[in-house]
Every structure is written in C-alpha cells, then in structure tokens.
C-alpha cells in the first residue's frame, strides 16, 4: 500500500509540474501574441504616418499660399513701377 501512495504522490507531482510548465508556456505564447500585435499596430501606425507626411509635404499651408500671392503681386507692381522710371 505504501508503494501505491508513493506512486500516487509521484504521479501528482509530475502532473502538477506539467501543468505549471504548460501554464508558463501559454503565458509566454500569450505575451508573444500581445507583443506581436503591438508590433504590428506600431508598424501600421508608422506606415500611415509616412503616407500622411508625404501627402502633407506637397500641400502648401493657406498662410504660405497667401504669402506667395502677395510676393507675386509685389513683384508685378515693382515691374510696372520700373516701366514708369524708363
């Protein structure tokens, strides 16, 4: 009978050890999955940022557009005034 008790203890210890190893492996896999998702989301955000940056780099801000228009008008005015000096 003591042999049966010893076998039961050994079996129970092995089962508990396997469960702990399985739980640890599942936890690590879960962490890897979470970090994988996080890396994927960050990569997607960076790609979106790059696309938006390229798109916005080509656009001129409204105040910059007005400044260019004023410079053009002043240049035209300067040219017309130069004609009167001749």
pLDDT in tens, 44-86: 999 898 888 888 877 888 898 999 999 999 999 999 998 887 6
CB 18 within 8 Å of CB 11: no
Q: What is the pTM of this model?
A: 0.37
Residue 39: predicted pLDDT: 87
User: Using one digit for the tens of pLDDT, what is the confidence trace for 12-36?
Assistant: 555 556 565 555 555 656 677 778 8
* The two structure tokens encoding residue 34: 């979470």
Domain containing 22 equals: 2-85
- Widest distance between CA atoms in the chain: 125
Residue 1: predicted pLDDT: 47
Q: Is the dihedral of CA 6, 11, 12, 17 positive or negative?
A: positive
Residue 76: predicted pLDDT: 94
Number of domains into which the chain is organized: 1
């Amino acid at each position: 009978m003591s042999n049966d008790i010893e076998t039961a203890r050994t079996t129970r210890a092995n089962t508990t050890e396997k469960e702990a190893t399985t739980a640890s492996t599942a936890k690590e896999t879960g962490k890897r999955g979470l970090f994988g998702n996080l890396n994927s989301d960050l990569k997607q955000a960076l790609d979106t940022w790059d696309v938006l940056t390229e798109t916005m780099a080509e656009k001129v801000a409204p105040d910059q557009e007005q400044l260019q228009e004023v410079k053009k008008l002043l240049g035209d005015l300067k040219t017309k005034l130069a004609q009167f000096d001749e």
